[in-house]
Amino acid sequence: MNKNIMFAERIKSLRKESSLSQVALAEKIDSNQKQVSKWERGQIEPNLDMLRKLADYFEVSVDYLIGRTDC
């Protein structure tokens, strides 16, 4: 599976499992709703700082977010 698609699916799934809107997630990681939306559609990839913030927030590894591991 394409790494952009894997990341997009995982971030959207994690967000929904946490019952967060795109706006709420963006606020928690100092981003904005447009960024989150583009990540979830696979249009863009987050930078390393954002990957770290997302991994920390959801308590998963960066490797999981980018599809290198399944847990």
Is the pLDDT score of 10 beyond 80?
A: yes
pLDDT grade, residue 1 (50/70/90)?
A: low
Average pLDDT in the 19-47 region? 97
Question: Mind listing the pLDDT tens digit for each residue in 34-62?
Answer: 999 999 999 999 999 999 999 999 999 99
Domains annotated on the chain, with CATH? 3-65 (1.10.260.40)
pLDDT grade, residue 68 (50/70/90)?
A: very high
DSSP notation for the chain: --HHHHHHHHHHHHHHHTT--HHHHHHHTT--HHHHHHHHTTS----HHHHHHHHHHHT--HHHHTTS---
